[in-house]
Amino acid sequence: MPHAIAGETLFLDVAIIGAGWYGLKAASTLLKLAPNTTLAIFDKYDSVGGAWCRDRIYPNLVAQVEFGYFNYPSTPMPQDGKPGNNLVSGDMICRYLEQFAEDNDLKRLIRFNSWVSNIERNRRGCGWVLTVNSRRVEAAKLICATGVTTQTNAPGFTVPEDSIPVKHVVDLAKAVPSFSDAANKLDHFVLLGGAKSAYDAAYLLCSLGKKVTWVIREDGSGPMPIMPAKMLGRNTITMGTSRLMSNLSPSIMTTDSPIGAFFHRTWLGRWLTKAAWGYISTLADKAAGFGTTAAAHTEALRPEIKDNRPSHRSAFWCDSSLGLITMEDFWSTLRKGDIIIVRDNIDTTDSTGVKLRSGKRVDADYVIYATGWGDHFSFFSPELKEELGIPQYGDSTLKNTNKTLAKETVPGGTTADPWVLQDKAADELIAKKLPLLAAGPKDFNGWQRSAARQRAVKVRRWRLYNRMVPLADNSDDHSIAILGQIHTTQTPTIAEIQALWAAAYLLGDISLPSKPDVMREIAEWNAWTRKRYASVGERYPYALFDWVPYLDRLMRDLGLSTKRHNGVLADFFLPYGPHCYHGVVAEYMAVRKRENLGSRLGEVSSASSIPE
Ligand SMILES: Cc1cc2nc3c(=O)[nH]c(=O)nc-3n(C[C@H](O)[C@H](O)[C@H](O)COP(=O)(O)OP(=O)(O)OC[C@H]3O[C@@H](n4cnc5c(N)ncnc54)[C@H](O)[C@@H]3O)c2cc1C
Ligand SMILES: NC(=O)c1ccc[n+]([C@@H]2O[C@H](COP(=O)([O-])OP(=O)(O)OC[C@H]3O[C@@H](n4cnc5c(N)ncnc54)[C@H](OP(=O)(O)O)[C@@H]3O)[C@@H](O)[C@H]2O)c1
């Protein structure tokens, strides 16, 4: 049990921020590899689960993947409470994570209701100093597992004191019981946002029989493309987890293999890729009923693709993340619902409704905004963010922009940020190796916006090696890992392998490549993902269909087999999921034993060795 010594300061080997999928797995893995580690997990909530904690589960909430694909690889999920369509409900996930924390004896290590407000480097040596609820915590190593959906993004419309209720979707679970209470007279809801949380809220409100005015801003990415629930009779996301699908999503991680070269650099391979995506898009449009009179009032949800070439009219090129509709009655519920979809934004609310930017008024009883998420690294100063390679958020400005920008001389005698050259070389490489991406839509709103953003805020890109380790840690003391920032559909599996890689890295098992190689890896990933996934790829480390080759990289570093199915054909065509990585921590422990790593490493430096 971590304890306070030296007054109010708490000394730890490892501080973990976040008790969600990633933080819990990071703790249990570290304790398996180094059982004497003194660690604490800090979480602002009062229960485990993060986005899936008890207070955030509302009726109808289900994961976007089918049963068997949303559990840690070595810990199956019990079937009880499973809804129809072979899904995983929010309640099941919540119970599963609570049980995982219990079974792994993690609850005694979790400090609930603990907000980490500040983190800086420890000036008295290596490691970190955290401010947790105003208390000082010193930790030799730091794992950030804050997730991406705790802090909210407030859209900035005016809410006067006498306004109708206005709630971010993060508070939906707490608010839902009041919706059905007739005494509250909550009939007409205005919903803002065009991505997955908004779709889920629209479905929930229509299921409750509410009238909904759904507002999607005009100048953004537009409504999210929604994959059909099933493809060739199987859950679409499951179908998307095979190596075949990874190859149909041109990626810098697969392009050097013979199969990748076929798909990405031959005319036939590119034709097959486009045909597959055309088929998926047709299925998606069919499921939504777009173009039919029955779906006339949901037609506005047709994703925007601002390119007139027929070959580019595909969900492949959408400028927003992709969602999967798991509830079979999703579209029929919306079509039957009392729902109006408008492209506009909210200007202000008042005591009887909402005024839109266009000047129109909507009489309403309640506003729900699903406008995304805020700064999950607000505990780092802008300067430290820049040093670590974490993008600035909103209007953050550096006290001295030049202070931490490394400079180097480029041919011609001018000085430049070294990333400028790296990014340019990476862009050229992507254009050469992935011609399909190079020939992407030209008049894409999001891409134009992204390009402008890139020029304005170059330093804001993610600069994390393997999406986890800051470059600044390279010659340092292996003291920080940032987990869970990669966007995929397979959170629990990625959590397990990232946690294992991070534990091995923090313990010193894994050395990073040379600095130029680390920079190249980072620049190439960024160049690829912002071409592949347009503005979401520009904003986040995005790898929706590419997580298997991403995990291959981590598995290789750990000395573990990347081929997780028996036989070449099975490995190419069968879905990848948690079952493929069953026992992976034990496999790695065997590697450590064989290579005698344990005796070389020992464990994380003991708390008492940290000087006062
Ligand atoms: C409604 C919803 C549905 C989703 N469905 C899917 C899905 O189907 N598939 C999928 O792959 N992903 C899904 N996601 C994405 C989701 O982010 C992941 O499923 C998963 O929760 C990520 O786990 P995590 O541990 O990274 O973060 P989280 O679950 O968000 O946990 C992070 C924890 O860190 C804590 N924290 C953050 N900052 C601080 C701080 N400064 N101080 C103290 N504590 C802090 C938070 O309180 C939180 O408990 C969904 C997200 C939402 C909101
Ligand atoms: N059931 C599920 O599985 C489930 C449910 C919910 C969420 N999730 C996951 O959680 C993550 C976050 O999804 P999310 O939908 O909550 O957030 P998100 O993907 O960040 O989407 C935010 C939405 O709000 C809009 N928006 C942002 N700022 C705005 C503003 N100022 N005014 C008006 N609109 C604004 C965005 O429009 P622009 O695109 O134009 O910027 C976008 O449509 C995703 O990974 C998602 O898959 C999963």
Mean pLDDT of 7-20: 92
With a cut of 50, say whether residue 231 has pLDDT above it. Answer: yes
Query: Which tokens sit at 313?
Result: 């009219």
Residue nearest to atom 39 of ligand 2 (CA): 221
Query: What would the mean pLDDT of 10-27 be, rounded to a whole number?
Result: 97
- The better pLDDT of the pair 448, 144 is held by 144
pLDDT at 475 exceeding the cut of 50: yes
Q: Which residue has the higher pLDDT, 280 or 410?
A: 280
For 506-560, write each residue's pLDDT tens digit.
999 999 999 999 999 999 999 999 888 887 887 888 898 899 999 999 999 999 9
Which contacts (CB < 8 Å, 24+ apart) does range 573-577 have?
573/242, 573/243, 573/244, 574/242, 575/69, 575/238, 575/239, 575/241, 575/242, 576/241, 576/242, 576/243, 576/548, 577/68, 577/69, 577/238, 577/241, 577/490, 577/493
pLDDT in tens, 318-349: 777 778 777 778 899 999 999 999 999 999 99
For the chain, give every domain's residue range. Answer: 10-151+375-604, 166-369
**For position 430, what pLDDT does the model report?**
94
Cβ atoms of 43 and 110 within 8 Å: the answer is: yes
Evaluate if residue 569 carries a pLDDT over 90: yes
Asked whether 377 lines ligand 1 (CB < 6 A), one says no
- The band of 401, judged by pLDDT with boundaries at 50, 70 and 90, is very low
The Å distance, Cα 235 to ligand 2 centre, comes to 22
Q: What is the pTM of this model?
A: 0.93
Give 453's pLDDT tier (boundaries 50, 70, 90).
Answer: very low
How many angstroms does the Cα of residue 509 sit away from the middle of ligand 2? 38
* Distance, CA of 416 to chain centre: 31
- Whether ligand 1 lies within 6 angstroms of the CB of 239 is answered as no
If you average pLDDT over every residue of the chain, what do you get?
87
Q: Is 313 in the pocket of ligand 2 (CB under 6 A)?
A: no
Class (C level, CATH) for 10-151+375-604: alpha beta
| Ligand found nearest the CA of 156 | 2
pLDDT at 456 over 60: no
Q: Would you say the CB of residue 499 lies under 6 angstroms from ligand 2?
A: no
The yes-or-no verdict on residue 411 having pLDDT over 80 is: no
Q: Give dist(CA 398, CA 420) in Å, integer.
A: 19
Between strands 87-89 and 62-66, the pairing is antiparallel
DSSP alpha helix (H) spans, 106-207: 172-179, 196-207
Position 113 confidence tier, pLDDT thresholds 50, 70, 90: very high
Nearest CA to ligand 1 atom 23: 21
- Sign for the pseudo-dihedral over CA of 484, 487, 493, 494: negative
- Our mutation pick for probing the ligand 1 site, out of 100, 130, 146, 393, counting the most ligand atoms within 8 A of Cβ, is 146
Distant-in-sequence, close-in-space partners of 424: CB < 8 Å, separation ≥ 6: none
